[in-house]
Protein backbone atom coordinates (compact mmCIF):
# COMPACT_ATOMS: atom_id res chain seq x y z
CA UNK A 1 0.00 0.00 0.00
CA UNK A 2 1.14 3.52 -0.63
CA UNK A 3 0.67 6.25 1.93
CA UNK A 4 1.50 9.94 1.95
CA UNK A 5 3.38 11.34 4.93
CA UNK A 6 3.22 14.97 6.01
CA UNK A 7 5.80 16.25 8.44
CA UNK A 8 5.65 19.48 10.38
CA UNK A 9 8.01 21.92 12.12
CA UNK A 10 11.31 20.34 13.20
CA UNK A 11 10.39 16.96 11.71
CA UNK A 12 10.33 18.35 8.19
CA UNK A 13 13.71 19.95 8.74
CA UNK A 14 15.19 16.65 9.88
CA UNK A 15 13.70 14.72 6.97
CA UNK A 16 14.52 17.52 4.54
CA UNK A 17 10.98 17.49 3.15
CA UNK A 18 7.45 18.27 4.27
CA UNK A 19 5.83 15.54 2.23
CA UNK A 20 6.87 12.10 1.09
CA UNK A 21 5.29 8.84 0.04
CA UNK A 22 6.11 5.40 1.35
CA UNK A 23 5.09 1.86 0.52
CA UNK A 24 4.03 -0.09 3.58
CA UNK A 25 3.04 -3.73 4.12
CA UNK A 26 -0.48 -4.80 4.87
CA UNK A 27 -1.00 -4.56 8.62
CA UNK A 28 1.15 -1.46 8.92
CA UNK A 29 0.16 1.09 11.55
CA UNK A 30 0.90 4.74 12.16
CA UNK A 31 3.52 3.54 14.64
CA UNK A 32 5.23 1.12 12.25
CA UNK A 33 5.33 3.83 9.57
CA UNK A 34 6.93 6.19 12.09
CA UNK A 35 9.52 3.54 12.96
CA UNK A 36 10.32 3.15 9.25
CA UNK A 37 10.89 6.89 8.97
CA UNK A 38 13.00 6.96 12.13
CA UNK A 39 15.21 4.26 10.63
CA UNK A 40 15.77 6.45 7.58
CA UNK A 41 16.37 9.59 9.64
CA UNK A 42 17.84 8.65 13.00
CA UNK A 43 17.27 12.12 14.45
CA UNK A 44 13.52 11.58 14.22
CA UNK A 45 13.59 8.76 16.78
CA UNK A 46 13.94 11.04 19.79
CA UNK A 47 10.57 12.66 18.95
CA UNK A 48 8.61 9.41 19.13
CA UNK A 49 7.01 9.92 22.53
CA UNK A 50 6.38 13.63 21.98
CA UNK A 51 4.59 13.77 18.63
CA UNK A 52 0.94 13.58 17.79
CA UNK A 53 -0.28 12.02 14.58
CA UNK A 54 -3.28 12.13 12.31
CA UNK A 55 -4.65 9.98 9.50
CA UNK A 56 -6.63 11.77 6.81
CA UNK A 57 -6.83 14.85 9.03
CA UNK A 58 -8.26 12.92 12.00
CA UNK A 59 -6.20 12.63 15.14
CA UNK A 60 -4.93 9.03 15.35
CA UNK A 61 -2.93 6.98 17.77
CA UNK A 62 0.18 5.01 16.94
CA UNK A 63 -1.74 1.69 16.83
CA UNK A 64 -4.12 2.92 14.13
CA UNK A 65 -3.95 0.58 11.08
CA UNK A 66 -3.19 2.17 7.74
CA UNK A 67 -5.07 1.75 4.47
CA UNK A 68 -3.90 2.31 0.91
CA UNK A 69 -3.91 6.01 0.02
CA UNK A 70 -3.94 7.24 3.61
CA UNK A 71 -2.41 10.59 4.39
CA UNK A 72 -0.50 10.45 7.66
CA UNK A 73 0.62 13.58 9.50
CA UNK A 74 3.24 13.71 12.24
CA UNK A 75 3.31 16.84 14.39
CA UNK A 76 5.88 17.65 17.03
CA UNK A 77 4.75 20.03 19.75
CA UNK A 78 5.95 23.60 19.33
CA UNK A 79 6.03 26.13 22.12
CA UNK A 80 7.05 29.43 20.58
CA UNK A 81 5.07 32.52 21.47
Partner 1 sequence: MSSTLPDLSNEEIKRYSRHLIMPEVGVDGQRRLKGGSVLCIGAGGLGSPAAMYLAAAGVGRIGIVDFDVVDYSNLQRQIIHGTPDVGRSKLVSAKDRLLALNPHIQVDTYEEALSSENAFRLFEPYDVILDGTDNFPTRYLVNDACVLLGKPNTYGSIFRFEGQASVFGMKKGPCYRCLYPEPPPPGLVPSCAEGGVLGVLPGVIGVIQATEAIKLLTGVGEPLVGRFLLYDALKMRFRELKVPKDPDCPVCGTHPTVTTLIDYEQFCGVRPAAEASVVSVASNGFEITSVELKQRIDKGQPPRIVDVREPNEFQINRIPGAELIPLGELPRRYAELDATEELVVMCKMGGRSAKAADFLRSVGFTRVLNLKGGVLDWVDKVDPSQPKY
Binding site for partner 1 (CB under 8 A): 8-10, 14, 18, 42-43, 46-47, 49-50, 52, 54, 57-59, 73, 75-81
CB of 26 to partner 1, least distance (A): 26
DSSP 66: P
Contact call for residues 56 and 70 (beta carbons, < 8 A): yes
Smallest gap from residue 67 Cβ to partner 1 (A) = 17
| CB closer to partner 1 out of 1 and 9 | 9
Question: Distance between CA atoms of 7 and 73, rounded to whole angstroms?
Answer: 6
Q: Smallest gap, in angstroms, from Cβ of residue 77 to partner 1?
A: 5
How far the first Cα of the chain sits from its last, in Å, is 39
Amino acid sequence: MRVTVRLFARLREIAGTAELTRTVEAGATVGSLWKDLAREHAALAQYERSISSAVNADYARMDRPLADGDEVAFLPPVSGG
